[in-house]
Amino acid sequence: MLLVVNHLRIAFGDAVPVRDVCFSVPEHGKVAIVGESGCGKSLTALSLQKDHPDVKMAYVFQNPGESLNPVMRVGGQIAEVLPKGLSKAEARARILDLLARCKLDDPARVADSYPCELSGGQQQRAMIAMALAAEPQLLVADEPTTALDVTTQRGVLELVDGLAAESGMAVLLITHNLGLVAGRSDWVNVMYAGEIVEAGPVAEVLAHPRHPYTQGLLAAVPALDAPMDAPLADIPGTVPPPNAWPSGCAFHPRCPHATDRCRREAPPPRAIGACTIRCFQGE
Ligand SMILES: Nc1ncnc2c1ncn2[C@@H]1O[C@H](COP(=O)(O)OP(=O)(O)OP(=O)(O)O)[C@@H](O)[C@H]1O
Ligand code: SF4
Ligand SMILES: [Mg+2]
Flag whether pLDDT at 11 surpasses 80.
yes
- Confidence (pLDDT) at 149: 66
Using an 8 Å Cβ cutoff, are 173 and 20 in contact?
A: no
The ligand placed nearest to the CA atom of residue 43 is 1
Flag whether pLDDT at 154 surpasses 90.
no
- Between strands 275-277 and 195-201, the pairing is antiparallel
Tell me the CA distances in angstroms from 107 to 63, 96, 120, 131, 282, one per residue in order.
21, 5, 16, 16, 56
- Categorise residue 171: left if φ over 0, alpha if ψ from -120 to 50, beta otherwise: beta
> DSSP code of 279?
-
Question: Which of 9, 16, 39 most suits a substitution to test ligand 1, by most atoms within 8 Å of the C-beta?
Answer: 39
- Confidence (pLDDT) at 225: 53
Q: So where are the chain's domains?
A: 3-56+136-277, 68-135
**Residue 140, beta-bridge partner list:** 59, 172
- Confidence (pLDDT) at 147: 45
pTM of the model: 0.93
Task: Report which protein residue has its CA nearest ligand 1's atom 10.
Answer: 17
Q: Which range among 6-15, 156-165, 194-203 shows the weakest confidence by mean pLDDT?
A: 156-165
With a Cβ cut-off of 6 Å, ligand 2 is lined by 211-212, 249, 251-252, 255, 257-258, 262, 267, 279-281
d(CA 267, CA 278): 5
Q: What's the chain's average pLDDT? A: 91
Question: Which of 43, 61, 172, 239 most suits a substitution to test ligand 1, by most atoms within 8 Å of the C-beta?
Answer: 43
CATH number of 3-56+136-277: 3.40.50.300
Tens digit of pLDDT for each residue in 98-129?
A: 999 998 999 999 999 999 999 888 898 899 99
> Would you tell me how many other CB atoms lie within 10 Å of the CB of residue 273?
10
Cα(256) to centroid of ligand 2, in Å?
A: 8
